[in-house]
Amino acid sequence: MATIRLHQTTTATPEQFLAGLTDFGPGRSKFFPNSRDGYLEVHDQGPSQADVTEGSNGVGSACTTTGPTPAASR
């Protein structure tokens, strides 16, 4: 599996940032403007991973997120 490293300046706390990364519910676009709720689909989820397709305007990208996924309930 690939490792992706991102760098971004934010005023969010580490807890808020991680919560935003793992929240696949409605309103995800508040954290990620290029993500639209209508293009968000959670295919599989568990306590430490989620298999998700998300995107906008018909362009989607599949991703698997590892780590706590308490809000991956869509």
Instruction: Note the pTM of the prediction, 2 decimals.
Output: 0.55
Percent of the chain topping pLDDT 90: 0
- The answer to the question of residue 20 being in a domain is yes
Which of 25, 35, 31, 29 is closest to 71 using CA atoms? 25
Q: What pLDDT score was predicted for residue 61?
A: 60
Question: For residues 69 and 19, is the Cβ–Cβ distance under 8 A?
Answer: no
User: Domain range for residue 42?
Assistant: 14-66
71: in domain: no
- The answer to whether position 37 is within a domain reads yes
Q: Answer whether residue 18 is part of any domain.
A: yes
Give the total number of structural domains in the chain. Answer: 1
Residue 28 lies in a domain: yes
Classify residue 54: in a domain, yes or no.
yes
Q: How far apart are CA 65 and CA 48, in angstroms?
A: 8
At 72, the pLDDT band (50, 70, 90 cuts) reads very low
37-60 pLDDT, tens digit each: 888 888 888 877 778 887 776 555
Residue 50 lies in a domain: yes
Would 22 be classed as within a structural domain? yes
Q: What is the pLDDT of residue 23?
A: 83
Q: Are 30 and 36 in contact (CB under 8 A)?
A: no
